[in-house]
Amino acid sequence: MKNRESITLFIDFEFSMPEGRGHKGFFPEIIEVGLLAVRGGKQEKFSSYVKPRVFKRLTRRCKNFLNISQQQVDGGISFHALVERLALYDEVGHCKVVTWGNMDMKVLKHNCQIAKIPFPFTGEFVDLSMEYKRFFGDRNQTGLWKAVQEYGKDGTGKHHKALDDAMTTYHIYQLVEKDKKYLNQSESTTIGDRVDFSVLRQFLAQ
């Protein structure tokens, strides 16, 4: 049996928002997707707006916060088309999905349930914000762009732009994995590393 190809997906979604608190029946829908697929050393990027199915008109708060227009989402792909595209990655290979926080997958699952279509992923999920928190011993979760700045780097493009956030997640993932490898390779020091035995030998030779 042929081995399945290994694929790592770095995904960021932007969601619709209610105008204020207590909006009856409202739930967030995916309105933009940014994705970076890494497999065999090659990268594939995908970015698109997504048309909301239920709450089709964006609120003023949502448009202002995300700097997005109604015309942009109206010209986007359907939610079904988005799920079909995501499912293709899962079908081609062993798929690991990396996101910053758990909201992306929660909203995707809920949107799939509302639309009555299967969730597209069957593989491994990595919440990189939790990995970052555990690795550095932070008490609270750190925001995506704050995390990359703590590494002394700049985020890619603009914050809350789906593809830019997905690319920034990828860069932090690389930095964390590099630090993990460094720590795993470093061995604990022995007494020989801490004591200069040449001085002791000279003393004994006197």
Query: Under 8 Å CB-to-CB from 104, ≥6 apart: which residues?
Result: 11, 12, 13
**Which residue among the candidates 91, 110, 160, 177 is catalytic per the annotation?**
160
CB 129 within 8 A of CB 142: yes
The Cα 10–Cα 47 span in angstroms is: 12
Q: Write down the catalytic residue from 5, 14, 23, 110.
A: 14
CA distance 197 to 108: 62
* Catalytic residue check, 14: yes
Residue 178 structure tokens? 């590099």
Nearest-5° Cα angle at 64, 86 to 160: 40
- Please give the C-alpha separations between residue 103 and each of 8, 106, 155, 185, 201, in angstroms, as whole numbers: 18, 5, 20, 34, 63
**Residues marked as catalytic:** 14, 160
